[in-house]
Structure 1
C-alpha cells in the first residue's frame, strides 16, 4: 500500500475518479482511481438515476482542485488503481486529512450510495 497527496481532476462516476498525484521530488502523475471495495450503481442503463445520484454526491464532496489523500493497493483489470480516498473540506494538509478527514469509500457505504464489493 502506498499513500499520496493528490488533487481531484474529474469525477467519472460514483466510484471512479481522475486525480493528479504528488509523488514527491516535484514529480506528479495523473491517475485513474477506482474506490477500493466499493461499488456504486452505473450511470448508464437501468441504474442511471441511482448512479447519477452517487456521482453527484462525490462531485459535490470533491470539486475539481480538492485535495485528497489516497492509499493505493493494486491495479485492477481495467488499469485503474484501487484506492481509499480521504478528504477534509477546506484542508490541504496530509496529516489533518488523515487524522480528521472523511473516508469517502466508507461514507458512500454509510449513506447507502454504494455497496461493498468483495471481489477485489
Structure 2
C-alpha cells in the first residue's frame, strides 16, 4: 500500500517519533503534533493536501503491505538492475538502485546480458512511472524489489496499481532472464 509507514521509535527525549520512510530515511514527528495518538510500531498513512502533508493512524493487514513506492525510471543499469527516483512522501525523493527480485540476467559483456539490457531499456524508458516494492538488500548493497509498470504513459500511481504489469513475473517468463 502506498503512503503507509511505520513508527520506528521515539527519540530518547520523548519529544518526537521517527516515521520510517524506508531506505534509511526517517521523518521526525514532533510530540506536539503527535500528542498521545501514536506509539512505536503504529502504522500511519500520509496524504498530501496542497503543500502540506496530513497524517492519520491506520491499520494494514500485514507488514508485507509496507514499503511500496511511486517513482520513475532514471536509467537501466543492466538486465536485472534499474536506477529509480522514488517519492517517499513529505517531499523526500530517494535515488536507489533496485535489483529485480527473481530476475537473473547475464553480465552486460555477454550476448544474453546485452540482449536482456536492451529489452529492459525498451520496456522501461527513462521517466517511465513505476511502483516499487522493496524487499531487502543484496550482498552488493542494492535493494531487491518488485516493479509494476504500464506500457502506456501513466501519471498517477493509482493507474499503475490498478492496471500495472508485474515486470518481474513478465521477465522471468522470458528466456534469458
Q: TM-score, structure 2 length as denominator?
A: 0.60
Aligned to 2:119: 57
Q: Distance in 2 between matches of 1:100 and 1:112?
A: 24
Distance verdict in 2 for CA 1:110–1:4, change over 3 Å: same
Q: Would you say 1:105 and 2:163 are equivalent positions?
A: no
- Segments of 5+ residues of structure 1 without an aligned counterpart are 115-120
- Please give the residue correspondences for 1:1-120 in structure 2 after superposition, counting only pairs within 5 Å: 1=64, 2-44=67-109, 48-89=110-151, 90-114=153-177
Q: Cα offset for 1:113?
A: 3.2
Q: Distance in 2 between matches of 1:76 and 1:92?
A: 30
Aligned to 1:38, the other structure's residue is in SS state coil
Moved more, 84-93 or 13-22: 84-93
Query: Of Structure 1 and Structure 2, which has the larger fraction of its residues in helix?
Result: 1
Q: Cα offset for 1:20?
A: 0.6
Q: What is the aligned residue count?
A: 111
Aligned to 1:57, the other structure's residue is in SS state helix
Is residue 68–residue 92 contact of structure 1 (8 Å, CA) maintained in 2? no
Which of the two has higher C-alpha Rg?
A: 2
Aligned to 1:78, the other structure's residue is in SS state coil
Of structures 1 and 2, the one scoring higher in RCO (CA 8 A, sep 6+) is 1
Alignment deviations for residues 34-90 of structure 1 (CA, whole Å, 9 cap, x no partner): 00122111112xxx1111111111101111111110000111111100000110121
